[in-house]
Structure 1
Amino acid sequence: MTAKPDVIINVRFKTADEGGRKTALVGNFYSCPLFVDGEGFDCRVFLGDQKIELGERYLLPVKFLNRDFVVPKLMPGKPITLWEGKDVANGEVSEVLPDA
């Protein structure tokens, strides 16, 4: 991970049968909007080169493209949704990290 994350999320990616993605996520990061209270914010979810299996729960660091717009809306336990043309993952904020 090259950028310092803003938050840690506890998230579960929906399976294809649940209307989520059709394949697992692989790579170093996943780019998508993160929705909180119906408002979307561009972010990078850091995967750490691990394979993210659908239907499993993960603690993942997130970096927002504009921290100042979203971090004031977040606190531990706040529900979030990841979006990829449809809701693909649901979870909550686990931790809000201090600014660099």
Structure 2
Amino acid sequence: MENVILNFSVSASSSRDSKRGSCSLSINHTKYVRLPDLLIDLEMARTEDSYKKGMAKYANPVVLILDEWLLLKPTESEQRDIFELLHRRRKKFSSIFCSQYEFKEWYD
């Protein structure tokens, strides 16, 4: 399964709506997370020697909703985390990327 959905949102309520959706979908193996929170979580897991477990938390849900996609330029370490996460999920699970910016405005 390799599905990628791009959702460009300009509504201030998009995060709140996504969170509400994830609560009702959580029993169906769906996880919602803001990208900044995911990156902080993985950094903390790295410092606590639980990186593999922290990565699995985001790599294994059937559907992963990543909100606030690339609003800020990621550090090199964060870029590696994002790459590793997407590499682990590819061809297995679905990912939904939510952003307030159009694709051309994302950071490289």
Q: Normalized against structure 1, the TM-score is what? A: 0.26
The structure number with the bigger radius of gyration is 2
Higher strand share: 1
Higher helix share: 2
